[in-house]
């Protein structure tokens, strides 16, 4: 619908057309005076706009001197002059001009009417837009700015990683000690905390299973008269001599005379009951604090096994220049070891010998390689050093001596074997292992290496070797170099991994599911170890299972394994949990009667 202005304009044009084309009897004076302009076609006030337009035109024609006169006077004068001029001209001329004027006005009016419609339509649209804006504008809410979560998360991660790096470097130790009320100088009471990285469980059945686990474990030591300590005391208080212990006459590590003053008492070693800790657990203060609390609250635990070189070739901190190992970020760990040793905890350094991807990549000529010279990988994709290469022997020796300098009482070698997925390949030429020509069997090579390590550690520390649990059963070296009798005379402690979960094959020891019989499996394995160790140098310290696989293990299952060990007169053992979370409620020093029928008793 046309707006008010458009209606007024349209009415004005129509009225002018009617006035100019009105009846011939209408006088010029009447038309000029605007008498007819006072009423519109409908008798309303719309005609006033035409009168006003006539007045404005008259005002524009008026001389400057007449500007002060009223509009009425100017209009009347204009009408009078026009009337006089028209009266002086012939009637015919006036008629012709009047006709032309009417034609022009009519054409103008028609054009104006045509032009009005688009204008009206445009006005309608504009008014609709204005109305819509007026309606929606009040209802429009200001959009709240949502937080930039991506930026916030990124900032949080940067701060967290920076704090963790500083924490691992020991830069926050004083602050942590102040907050927690602990003192790094009194670990026996409050502990240095430490965090841990979960490692996999070592494999015993011949499959590599090397996922960071404790490597190979083996049967038990010599038999004979009891030389193992009795009931061990709290940390730093070895048990009294005379209690039934391990079998056999003990040949001191690498020597026949008295032990060096730097060695821990053998009674302390024979009564060590240890928890395994990863490098990350021992190196992180908050984690280590919880471990120390656990140790203090469970009578009988008095020892630690801590990674000094793990399956990734990593050592806790920057090593001496002659040791090409991957440095970790725990620069304070050597100081922690010294403090724990001063508190009379029996400290065992776990060193992964021949599985070392870092050194294999840094010095490929020291690694097991394919025939084309490329690095060989086992079925799990891991890289191995060549056990025949005596340069690798020197490398492991140097790491062990560095651990002794930190304060460790015993060096325990893990993955001290050949990869089982490369059996006999060196002789076929499928893989390159220079030096294999010197040995008849792989077991002969591993025994020679252990003799080399024993000589290097003579008078400094005891030597242990982690052996597959199946070594107590197998009559050969299983293709990996683990033959019980061949190794038991080269170390102080044979450490078989007798985890019941790793006896996969049904029927072992007469059980369809050996894992469901932890006490029986460990008892039989210890009996075999003692029998095969008779007259040899080594003692037996087994690895026991404190983790679950197919069967859920709790306090009863863990305690059963310990009881089976004690019933053979063996008072030392190590508990393995890859995440270093140990089962509460375990009886760590059970009261048992040692039968005289057991080979290990005196």
Write the DSSP assignment of 361-419 as a string of letters.
HH-GGGB-EETTSSBPB-TTS-BBB-TT-HHHHHHHHHHHHHHHHHT-SEEEEES-S--
Domain count, the chain: 2
117/258 same-domain check: no
Domain of residue 536, CATH code: 3.20.20.80
What is residue 247's predicted lDDT score, i.e. its pLDDT?
Answer: 37
What is residue 390's predicted lDDT score, i.e. its pLDDT?
Answer: 97
**Structure-derived torsion over alpha carbons of residues 304, 307, 311, 312, reported in degrees to the nearest 10:** 150
pLDDT at 66 over 80: no
What is residue 489's predicted lDDT score, i.e. its pLDDT?
Answer: 95
63-77, 238-252, 320-334, 521-535, range with the lowest pLDDT: 238-252
500/390 same-domain check: yes
Q: Which residue has the tokens 């039934």?
A: 244
123/190 same-domain check: no
Confidence grade of residue 52 (pLDDT, cut at 50, 70, 90): low
pLDDT at 584 over 80: yes
Confidence grade of residue 514 (pLDDT, cut at 50, 70, 90): very high
Q: Does 586 map to a domain?
A: no
What is residue 251's predicted lDDT score, i.e. its pLDDT?
Answer: 36
Winning range, highest mean pLDDT, from 25-34, 159-168, 552-561: 552-561
Please provide the average confidence, as pLDDT, over all residues in the chain: 75
What is residue 158's predicted lDDT score, i.e. its pLDDT?
Answer: 87
Transcribe 544-587 into DSSP letters: EE-S-SSS---HHHHHHHHHHHHTTT---EEEE-TT----TT--
What is residue 505's predicted lDDT score, i.e. its pLDDT?
Answer: 87
276/385 same-domain check: yes
Residue where one domain finishes, among candidates 132, 148, 163: 132
End-to-end CA distance of the chain: give it in Å, rounded.
121
**Structure-derived torsion over alpha carbons of residues 13, 19, 20, 23, reported in degrees to the nearest 10:** 150
125/240 same-domain check: no
62/209 same-domain check: no
What is residue 541's predicted lDDT score, i.e. its pLDDT?
Answer: 98
63-67, 77-81, 218-222, 489-493, range with the lowest pLDDT: 218-222
What is residue 503's predicted lDDT score, i.e. its pLDDT?
Answer: 93
What is residue 96's predicted lDDT score, i.e. its pLDDT?
Answer: 57
pLDDT at 273 over 70: yes
What is residue 161's predicted lDDT score, i.e. its pLDDT?
Answer: 80
What is residue 504's predicted lDDT score, i.e. its pLDDT?
Answer: 86
550/439 same-domain check: yes
Domain interval for residue 339? 184-221+231-576
434/532 same-domain check: yes
Query: How far is residue 247's CA from residue 569's CA, in Å, rounded to a whole number?
Result: 8
44/189 same-domain check: no
Confidence grade of residue 150 (pLDDT, cut at 50, 70, 90): confident
What is residue 429's predicted lDDT score, i.e. its pLDDT?
Answer: 85
pLDDT at 43 over 70: no
**408 versus 30: which is more confidently predicted?**
408
Contacts of 194 (CB under 8 A, 6+ apart): 277, 280, 281, 282, 283, 284, 285, 286, 287, 288, 289, 291, 336
Q: In percent, how much of the chain has pLDDT > 70?
A: 59
**Structure-derived torsion over alpha carbons of residues 447, 453, 456, 458, reported in degrees to the nearest 10:** -80
What is residue 140's predicted lDDT score, i.e. its pLDDT?
Answer: 59
């Amino acid at each position: 619908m046309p707006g008010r202005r458009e209606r007024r304009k349209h009415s004005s044009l129509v009225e002018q057309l009617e006035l100019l084309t009105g009846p011939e009897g209408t006088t010029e004076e009447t038309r000029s005076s605007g008498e007819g302009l006072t009423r519109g076609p409908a008798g309303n006030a719309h005609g006033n706009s035409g009168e006003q337009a006539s007045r404005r035109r008259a005002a524009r024609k008026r001389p400057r001197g007449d500007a002060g006169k009223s509009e009425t006077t100017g209009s009347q004068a204009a009408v009078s002059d026009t009337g006089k001029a028209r009266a002086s001209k012939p009637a015919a001329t006036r008629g012709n001009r009047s006709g032309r004027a009417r034609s022009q006005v009519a054409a103008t009016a028609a054009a104006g009417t045509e032009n009005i419609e688009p204008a009206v339509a445009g006005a309608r649209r504009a008014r609709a837009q204005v109305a819509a804006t007026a309606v929606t504008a009040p209802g429009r809410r200001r959009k709240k700015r949502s937080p930039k979560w991506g930026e916030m998360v990124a900032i949080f991660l940067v701060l967290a990683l920076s704090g963790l790096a500083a924490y691992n470097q020991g830069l926050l130790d004083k602050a942590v000690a102040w907050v927690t009320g602990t003192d790094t100088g009194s670990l026996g009471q409050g502990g240095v905390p430490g965090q841990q990285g979960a490692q996999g469980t070592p494999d015993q059945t011949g499959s590599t299973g090397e996922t960071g686990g404790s490597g190979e474990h083996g049967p038990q030591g010599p038999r004979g008269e009891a030389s193992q300590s009795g009931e061990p005391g709290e940390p730093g208080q070895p048990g009294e001599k005379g209690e039934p212990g391990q079998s056999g006459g003990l040949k001191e590590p690498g020597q026949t005379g008295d032990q060096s003053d730097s060695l821990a008492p053998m009674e302390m070693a024979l009564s060590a009951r240890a928890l395994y800790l990863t490098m990350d657990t021992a190196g992180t203060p908050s984690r280590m604090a919880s471990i120390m609390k656990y140790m203090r609250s469970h009578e009988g635990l008095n020892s630690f096994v801590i990674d000094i070189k793990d399956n990734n070739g990593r050592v806790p901190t920057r090593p001496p220049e002659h040791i090409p190992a991957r440095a970790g970020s725990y620069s304070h760990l050597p100081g922690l070891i010294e403090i724990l040793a001063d508190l009379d905890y029996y400290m065992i350094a776990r060193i992964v010998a021949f599985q070392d991807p870092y050194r294999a990549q840094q010095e490929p000529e020291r690694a097991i390689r394919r025939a084309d010279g490329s690095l060989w990988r086992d079925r799990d994709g891991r890289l191995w050093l060549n056990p025949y290469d005596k340069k690798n022997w020197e490398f492991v020796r140097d790491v062990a001596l560095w651990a002794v300098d930190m304060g460790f009482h015993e060096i325990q070698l893990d993955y001290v074997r050949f990869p089982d997925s490369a059996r006999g390949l060196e002789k076929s030429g499928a893989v390159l292992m220079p030096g294999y020509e010197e040995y008849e069997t792989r077991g002969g090579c591993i025994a020679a290496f252990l003799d080399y390590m024993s000589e290097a550690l003579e008078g400094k520390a005891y030597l242990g070797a982690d052996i597959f649990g199946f070594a107590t059963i197998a009559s050969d070296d299983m293709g990996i170099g683990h033959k019980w009798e061949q190794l038991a005379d080269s170390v102080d402690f044979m450490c078989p991994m007798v985890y019941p979960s790793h006896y996969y094959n049904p029927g072992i020891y007469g059980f369809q599911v050996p894992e469901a019989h932890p006490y029986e499996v460990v008892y039989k394995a210890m009996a075999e170890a003692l029998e095969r160790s008779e007259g040899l140098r080594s003692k037996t310290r087994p690895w026991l299972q404190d983790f679950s696989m197919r069967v859920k293990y709790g306090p009863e299952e863990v305690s059963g394994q310990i009881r089976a060990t004690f019933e053979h007169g063996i008072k030392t053992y190590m508990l393995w949990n890859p995440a270093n979370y140990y089962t509460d409620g375990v009886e760590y020093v059970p009261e048992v009667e040692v039968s005289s029928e057991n080979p290990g008793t005196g």
